[in-house]
Amino acid sequence: MGWKADQVVDTDVLIIGSGGTGLRAAIEARRYGVKVIVIDKGVIGMNSNTRYSGGGLKAALPGILETRYTTIYSTPEEHFQAALLHGEYLNDQELIETLTLEAPARVLELQEFGVTTFRAMYYHVQYPHGTGLVAPQMAYAKKLGCSLRPGIVPTQLIMEGDRVAGCLGFNTHTDRPVLMRAKAVILATGGAGEIYERNDTTATTTGDGYSLAFQAGLQLRDMEIVQFEPYVQAEPGLPMLDRHECEAEFFGILRNKDGEEFLKKYMPPRQEAVDSFEKQFGMPLTDIRERVARAMVSEVHAGRGDNGAVLFDLTHVPAEVWDADIASQYTKAVLMRNGFDPTKKPIHVLPGAICNLGGVVINAHCETAIAGLYAAGEVAGGVHGAARLGGDALVETIVYGARAGKHAALYAMQAQAPRTGGAQLEDSKREWQEVLGRPAEGSCAADAIKKKIKKLMWDKVGPLRDGAGLRLANDELARLAEHDAPRMYAPTVRRLREVYEARSMLLTARLVVASALARTESRGAHYRLDYPFRDDRNWLRNIFVHGNEREIVTTTRPIRLLRHKPSPVSKFGLEVRA
Ligand SMILES: Cc1cc2nc3c(=O)[nH]c(=O)nc-3n(C[C@H](O)[C@H](O)[C@H](O)COP(=O)(O)OP(=O)(O)OC[C@H]3O[C@@H](n4cnc5c(N)ncnc54)[C@H](O)[C@@H]3O)c2cc1C
Counting ligand 1 atoms within 8 A of each CB, the residue from 14, 28, 48 with the most, and so the one to mutate, is 48
Question: Considering the domain boundaries, does residue 320 fall inside one?
Answer: yes
In which region does residue 190 sit, left (phi positive, over 0), alpha (psi from -120 to 50) or beta (all else)? left
53 CA distance to ligand 1 centroid (A)?
A: 8
- Binned at pLDDT 50, 70 and 90, residue 330 comes out as confident
Question: Considering the domain boundaries, does residue 300 fall inside one?
Answer: yes
Q: Which residues pair with 310 in a beta bridge?
A: 349
Counting ligand 1 atoms within 8 A of each CB, the residue from 157, 189, 240 with the most, and so the one to mutate, is 189
336 CA distance to ligand 1 centroid (A)?
A: 28
Q: How many residues does the chain have?
A: 578
Nearest atom, ligand 1, residue 393 CA: 11
Q: State the pLDDT at residue 560.
A: 87
Write out the residue range of the structural domain in which residue 330 sits. Answer: 231-350
DSSP letter at 491?
A: S
Question: Considering the domain boundaries, does residue 373 fall inside one?
Answer: no
* Residue minimizing CA distance to atom 35 of ligand 1: 17
* Residue minimizing CA distance to atom 4 of ligand 1: 53
278 CA distance to ligand 1 centroid (A)?
A: 26
Counting ligand 1 atoms within 8 A of each CB, the residue from 53, 121, 286 with the most, and so the one to mutate, is 53
In this structure, of 62-66, 154-158, 208-212, 492-496, the range with the lowest mean pLDDT score is 62-66
CB atoms within 10 A of CB 69: 30
Question: Considering the domain boundaries, does residue 255 fall inside one?
Answer: yes
Nearest atom, ligand 1, residue 42 CA: 47
Question: Above 80 in pLDDT, residue 466?
Answer: yes
* Residue minimizing CA distance to atom 44 of ligand 1: 40
Nearest atom, ligand 1, residue 134 CA: 29
385 CA distance to ligand 1 centroid (A)?
A: 18
Nearest atom, ligand 1, residue 379 CA: 26
CA-CA-CA-CA dihedral for 338, 234, 245, 404, to nearest 10? -120
Taking residues 11-26, report their average pLDDT.
98
Question: Considering the domain boundaries, does residue 295 fall inside one?
Answer: yes
Distance (Å, rounded) from C-alpha 336 to C-alpha 487?
44
Question: Considering the domain boundaries, does residue 344 fall inside one?
Answer: yes
Residues 6+ apart with CB under 8 A from 563: 93
Taking residues 389-418, report their average pLDDT.
97
Nearest atom, ligand 1, residue 242 CA: 1
- Binned at pLDDT 50, 70 and 90, residue 503 comes out as very high
Distance (Å, rounded) from C-alpha 323 to C-alpha 63?
24
Distance (Å, rounded) from C-alpha 474 to C-alpha 479?
9
pLDDT by residue (tens digit) across 516-563? 999 999 999 999 999 999 999 999 999 999 999 899 999 999 998 877
Q: State the pLDDT at residue 531.
A: 98
Distance (Å, rounded) from C-alpha 277 to C-alpha 294?
16
**String of DSSP letters for 31-86:** HTT--EEEE-SSSTTTTSHHHHS------S-TTTS--SSS---SSHHHHHHHHHHH
Distance (Å, rounded) from C-alpha 58 to C-alpha 8?
41
* Residue minimizing CA distance to atom 49 of ligand 1: 48
pLDDT by residue (tens digit) across 91-127? 999 999 999 999 999 999 999 999 876 665 544 556 6
Q: Which residues pair with 200 in a beta bridge?
A: none
pLDDT by residue (tens digit) across 124-181? 556 677 888 999 999 999 999 999 999 999 999 999 999 999 999 999 999 999 999 9
Q: Which residues lie with the beta carbon below 6 Å from any ligand 1 atom?
A: 16-22, 39-42, 47-50, 52-56, 153-154, 188-190, 200-201, 204-205, 208, 242, 354-355, 377-378, 390-394, 397
**Domains in the chain: how many in total?**
1
pLDDT by residue (tens digit) across 270-319? 876 566 888 888 888 888 999 999 999 999 999 999 999 999 999 999 99
pLDDT by residue (tens digit) across 20-53? 999 999 999 999 999 999 999 999 999 999 999 8
Taking residues 360-373, report their average pLDDT.
98
Q: Quick one: which of 149, 14, 122 has its CA closest to 67?
A: 122
* Residue minimizing CA distance to atom 2 of ligand 1: 53
Burial bucket for residue 559 (CB in 10 Å: 0-12, 13-18, 19+): middle
Question: Considering the domain boundaries, does residue 341 fall inside one?
Answer: yes
DSSP letter at 14?
A: E
Nearest atom, ligand 1, residue 396 CA: 11
Distance (Å, rounded) from C-alpha 2 to C-alpha 429?
11
Question: Considering the domain boundaries, does residue 317 fall inside one?
Answer: yes
210 CA distance to ligand 1 centroid (A)?
A: 14
Q: Quick one: which of 285, 238, 305 has its CA closest to 70?
A: 285
490-493 long-range contacts, Cβ below 8 Å, gap at least 24? 490/435, 490/436, 490/438, 490/446, 491/436, 491/440, 492/1, 492/436, 493/1, 493/3, 493/170, 493/171, 493/172, 493/175, 493/436
* Residue minimizing CA distance to atom 31 of ligand 1: 19
Nearest atom, ligand 1, residue 501 CA: 41
Q: Which amino acid is at 75?
A: T
CATH assignment of the domain containing 317? 3.90.700.10
